[in-house]
Structure 1
């Protein structure tokens, strides 16, 4: 994607009228690289897929001097969608703290959203920062080794100070705005949880689905927090059914 203010990868056919593009939004401190397995699977099914590195992360690290907060990331992504895609709403697929970004985007720019798919939605406002960090550590052994390598490299690129600042922004958003943003979402929303996810609990994932006007929840067996990496075929099939109007 060009002229949108940040780096993004493309997969599948070019976006076209009448068929929403799929935009895959990464979590805290990461890049879009860990969405590549899902992007390729969706593209193989004929979808146009865009995978951005949000400002301050990955190949977009130099776009900003400091880690933006959640709402600024949402507005930057909205601006990129308006400039880089044809008119019409997109299917937004996000993981972890990326779910907070797309929830803010859907609340603030509803015309840009066709469907939301929230994979391992984080952060749960009822858990402290220390507890959230502990859940992240507990999840790591449940993820594929290849994911840990990708994530470790991305965290180094983003840098520990920016990761820490982004975590503070995410905690603040979770406490102050995440649930309010979800309550304003009008697009059909699917909250997906890997059955082994230690970060997004069953109860919290169900609450996310209940907060939106048209929400559904689904578990994926054999996956953890990054279900899009650990089970891309299963998640792609869910997304395809959901966007075709089959939430179950």
Structure 2
């Protein structure tokens, strides 16, 4: 269904007005479809889960005339969150979605209760060419079903918009991503698949060190989309993290 202009998938109990929810934020050019396995696991454990397609992508493609930059995506996500009258939410983001989540947490801290950043990209130490090479190295490590979903989503979003979104993400990585992370004060879990060639172990440690209360985790046998290939493990990590005291061990 469409919520505040964004196509949104709902799982589990309906979030009451003023009640917290788990919000899943997809990566560049994709839709929320590749979060469905994780959303179902979280819903089975009692969570209210919302998965919007960000403006300009997939089933929210018509929400805007051109590809928004990271700041505009964060503003749109904040408007969506406000329109649904949600309490501060647990945001789970993947890849470039982590840049959107960081921008939202920095600009609207009262909307975010906790952050889970899965395979955060793009790290500012690499060029666009290097990021593309890393993405190509990742593809054979992901499940074939995920590659089919991603290919379909990229076609719906459109190659020109995907390319524009990539340029926006590179600019945000160089100019704003780390600064936004440094403004995040909520407990943050940074996760990578052990086989992820995009988000290195040293990079996720840096991300966790930039936020005010960060910790890291690694999932064996998974790559960049660890939430898709290991949804049960990821759901357990999120559930355990949500129950920890701020500043405590993950």
Identify the TM-score tier after normalising by the shorter chain: over 0.9
SS of residue paired to 1:67: coil
1:43 paired residue number:
43
Contact 1:15 1:85 in 2 (8 A): no
1:141 paired residue number:
140
For 2:150 and 2:89, how far apart are their aligned partners in 1?
26
SS of residue paired to 1:7: strand
Runs of 5+ in structure 1 lacking a partner?
none
1:11 paired residue number:
11
2:202 paired residue number:
203
1:16-36, Cα deviation, whole Å (9 max, x unpaired): 368520000000000000000
CA RMSD of aligned residues (A): 1.2
SS of residue paired to 1:54: coil
Runs of 5+ in structure 2 lacking a partner?
none
For 2:41 and 2:78, how far apart are their aligned partners in 1?
24
For 1:18 and 1:5, how far apart are their aligned partners in 2?
20
1:55 paired residue number:
55
Find runs of 4+ consecutive structure 1 residues off by over 6 angstroms: none
Contact 1:26 1:53 in 2 (8 A): yes
For 1:70 and 1:130, how far apart are their aligned partners in 2?
20
1:239 paired residue number:
238
SS of residue paired to 2:209: helix
Contact 1:53 1:60 in 2 (8 A): yes
Q: Report deviation, 1:106.
A: 0.1
2:174 paired residue number:
175
TM-score (norm 1): 0.97
TM-score (norm 2): 0.96
1:81 paired residue number:
81
2:124 paired residue number:
125
